[in-house]
Amino acid sequence: MSDKGSRQKAHRRREKEKKEATERQYEELSQKVSQLEEEKEQLQGALLLASGTADAEESPENKEIVATLCFDIWKKIVHKIAWCLKRMDAAPFPRSTHFERQIEALVRQQVEFLWALIDYNPTALSCLPSLNIEDPSAPSSGDPRDWPAILEAMHVSEEQAKHVLAVRREWLREVGLLMAERQGLLARLESIDDIKEGVEFALTHLEESGRVMERVRENAHAMHICRTFYISYAHTTMWSPVQSARYSVGCLPMGPDTTFLLACLADKYGEPPTEELTRAAGLGMTLSPHPGASPHRPTTSGASLDTSRATNTGAASSLGGVGTSAATSAARANTGDVATSGVGALSDIGANSGDPTIRGLPSCIAGDWRRAFTTPLRVLHAWDQRSIQETASGGIEALGQC
């Protein structure tokens, strides 16, 4: 009896210790959640400060302060996501769902911050993919991101990959058309001269140069709108919250680069590289997937789509030239055929009109990116009531128009 009583007493002691340990863990988690909520309020205040300077006269010092603040906000969000991911992976079900909800909230906060950068600080947005956010002042020492490992951690399904790669083709087609348009506009600009004598002739050519320069500026703006539309679509529709979380954390210490991530996925499935697809779009061609897949790390196939730094006179974007499409565009431009920028100008698709319902426009999975000229992305890509995971798996109800 004495032994039985001792065993019961020891059992009760172990149960009590287990209960106390569970209560301590719950208290620690509650404190962490409170801390996350407090930090969220602080980040929202910092975001208002960062975006509030957009209307103010910016000095170089102010721009540097705002950029540093923006990168610090991004770093804090990603670090919190990393903490939640570790706890979610270690926690048994159903406790893991608590951290999954936290991750979804943080990813939404992250996307809202991206939208703010798009609207108020596109310069910081363009620097994010190539910046060491842990130490922005550190010199560049190559890209430490392991893209195949990041993709593997995201657990992209076959059906989802098919959807994502279709969107990538759609994105690069639109970029290719805009690049061909830019080449044609710049060729047109170079063809304008005032060799002939006479004030009237010189004034005519000056006015024409001004019109073409304005179209070049419109083209650069269209490039920015197109790029940010598809980046926003990727974060809100293509990936589930947990996939977006693993993507952001996997990129540390760097920021995310959607074009490189998609290029790596394309490389895995034997899709043509970025340059080939953009050149083909400028020529009005469609490329088939390459036979076989090469799972090596992408190099030139991941050329950045960052065109926000394009100047009014720079002929090449960061994607490189567009091959023979430039000559075709130049020939058309030299005949005076200069269309409105950003709507497929100098191509056979939708020239001189922004109406996405024009006959002949191809179907778009992501919808018409030109809507972002007038409608904020936070409205176009607002979080709906559907499960984001269902959307990320490739379930698309209807196609829009490009």
In the chain, how many domains are there?
A: 2
CA–CA dist 19, 13 (Å, integer): 10
Which residue intervals of 252-376 are DSSP H helices? 258-268, 274-282, 324-333
Residue 33 domain-assigned (yes or no)? yes
The string of pLDDT tens digits covering residues 293-328 is 444 444 434 444 544 433 333 333 333 333 333 333
Do 99 and 25 form a contact (C-beta atoms < 8 A)?
Answer: no
Residue 180 maps to a domain: yes
Question: What is the CB-side half-sphere exposure of residue 93 using CA atoms within 13 A?
Answer: 0
Give yes or no: residues 133 and 246 share one domain. Answer: no
- Whether residue 8 is contained in a domain is answered as no
Question: Is residue 22 predicted with pLDDT exceeding 60?
Answer: yes
- Listed range (100-114, 152-166, 297-311) with the worst mean pLDDT: 297-311
How far is 402 from 49, CA to CA, in rounded Å?
Answer: 36
Residue pair 67/121 in contact (Cβ under 8 Å)? The answer is: yes
The residue segments making up the domain with residue 21 are 14-142
Q: Provide the pairing of β-strand 363-364 with 400-401.
A: antiparallel
* 344 and 209 fall within a common domain: yes
Lowest mean pLDDT across 31-40, 141-150, 173-182, 185-194: 31-40
> Which residue did the predictor score with more confidence, 189 or 390?
189
Q: What percent of the chain has pLDDT over 90?
A: 41
Q: Return the higher-pLDDT residue of 47 and 358.
A: 47
Q: Which residue has the higher pLDDT, 363 or 145?
A: 145
How many whole angstroms separate alpha carbon 284 and alpha carbon 159? 28
Q: How far apart are CA 61 and CA 152, in angstroms?
A: 41
Do 226 and 178 touch, CB atoms closer than 8 A?
A: yes
Domain boundary among 110, 142, 174: 142
Q: Does residue 238 sit in the same domain as residue 132? A: no
Question: Do 133 and 211 fall within a single domain?
Answer: no
Say if 5 falls within a structural domain.
no
One domain for residues 165 and 46: no
Cβ count within 10 A of residue 37: 11
Indicate whether 31 and 156 sit together in one domain: no
List residues bridging with 317 in a β-sheet.
320
**286 lies in a domain?**
yes
Asked whether the predicted pLDDT for residue 391 surpasses 70, the reply is no
| Pair (310, 283) in one structural domain | yes
Whether 215 and 285 map to the same domain: the answer is: yes
Q: CA torsion 186→262→126→377, rounded to 10°?
A: 90
Q: What is the pTM of this model?
A: 0.70
Are 115 and 174 in a shared domain? no
- pLDDT of 251 reads 96
Domain match, 104 and 24 both? yes
Q: Please check whether residues 162 and 138 belong to one and the same domain.
A: no
For tokens 């060491």, the residue is 132
pLDDT in tens, 227-260: 999 999 999 999 999 999 999 999 999 999 999 9
Helices vs strands, H then E, count in the chain:
13, 2
268 within a domain of the structure (yes/no): yes
CA-to-CA distance for 2 and 9, rounded, in angstroms?
10
Same domain, yes or no: 123 and 177: no
